[in-house]
Structure 1
């Protein structure tokens, strides 16, 4: 929870109190309304920032009452975290990290790379990145909420994929949580590279062909560092 309170805090809004009473343990929620609220939240946070987006705006954009928003998410901070998680799950679905030994390692990593880059360069992700770097939010509990809902979730899922490929003998990475995490973060940093920084700073966009070349080169650099002869990766990529 963010320490500072806001007009949308449940302590200031009677709607939140009523929602808490109406939403008892085990009470079923309308999944279609939840999805609509999450989509509206992404749009409002992208357009207005965290402080500028109100629960009233989000409720209106979702076509529901503010009471319904509070009933599903409790407060704006929790809704923000859920919106970040939803964005990551949509951009990087769980299926990308499933055990698929039939798919060659390089092909698998390229699929993850394309999905990851598409997710972090979407308008919502760029706006969120800029928002969290502002003096008002940098270092706040909201930053931790974002980290846990987004990057940490992605790293954990990718770490599971690396573990499987280490066990199959395709990757030469020490099978410890620390080493696997380090390799995973190195992979993500390689994928971001200069093109992502240019987008964040508003220095222009990079064309699709150059992006594909950047991602392929990043995957190949990762494989040169960690792939074994059993990975099936061409020597030119190692």
Structure 2
């Protein structure tokens, strides 16, 4: 640059698309799938937006247009993973479905989700000092666990109104349910336990959690509906 040339400001990627700009949903889905694969394989810090764009077959500008920055992309990948494995239909009231059957369906889907190898790897990423230092805990919590808990709390409130459950604090009870589902099997998986004993113990785990939850909160006069 000669002295007469004006200084150029470094180019900054856009944080979001222009208002009203249409989004290509297929490209968005491809970006999310690429991000999920790469975060699991390489960890958060070793994945760049350029790499995600190349993996998804789109431009870096497209990635930034859809997600703004890498933290937002990670949070959206978490949300998409939860929605894919725990779709909203699982939490619909479905008053004709027996309560125990409904809880088992949610418990089995949640347990399968958190025990999947990519989810275990993602959990390890979240526990890394690099991710913790970025202050991403709140965005991750809102995108994943909080969304699932809120949907389950709504289901509990519906069953309370129907007289099937007696719960003073549905939000706290929802937290209890998912914490119990994770339990020892998930902790063992995070530590690398993949033995047959771990897997066999996991098969009976969900049923035992559902039964414990119902012993704590089910209205006794409705035992026949369980």
Query: What's the TM-score, normalizing by structure 2?
Result: 0.90
Deviation at 1:212, TM superposition (A): 2.6
Who is 2:189 aligned against?
199
In structure 1, C-alpha distance between the alignment counterparts of 2:124 and 2:80, rounded to whole Å: 19
Identify which of 222, 225, 231 aligns with 2:213.
222
1:48–1:26 Cα change, 3 Å: same
Deviation at 1:136, TM superposition (A): 2.2
Larger radius of gyration: 2
Query: How big is the shift at 1:137?
Result: 2.3
Post-superposition offset of 1:208: 5.2
For residue 11 of structure 2, what is the aligned residue in structure 1?
14
Query: Please, which moves more after superposition, 125-134 or 207-216?
Result: 207-216
Matched position secondary structure for 1:137 = helix
- Are residue 96 (structure 1) and residue 87 (structure 2) matched? no
Alpha-carbon deviations, 1:164-208, whole Å to 9, x = none?
01000000112xxxx111111111111111110000111224565
- For structure 2, the residue ranges without an aligned partner over 5 or more in a row are 1-8
Task: Provide structure 1 residue ranges, at least 5 long, that are not aligned to the other structure.
Answer: 1-11
Deviation at 1:15, TM superposition (A): 6.2
**Rounded Cα–Cα distance in structure 2 between residues aligned with 1:156 and 1:231:** 26
- What RMSD over aligned residues (CA atoms) do the two structures have, in Å? 1.9
Structural mapping, 1:115-126, within 5 Å: 115-126=109-120
Q: How many residues align?
A: 216
Q: Deviations over 1:71-122 (max 9, x none)?
A: 1111111111110000000010000001101100000000000000011112
The answer on whether the counterparts of 2:45 and 2:130 sit within 8 Å (CA) in structure 1 is no
Q: Who is 1:35 aligned against?
A: 29
Q: TM-score normalised to the size of structure 1?
A: 0.85
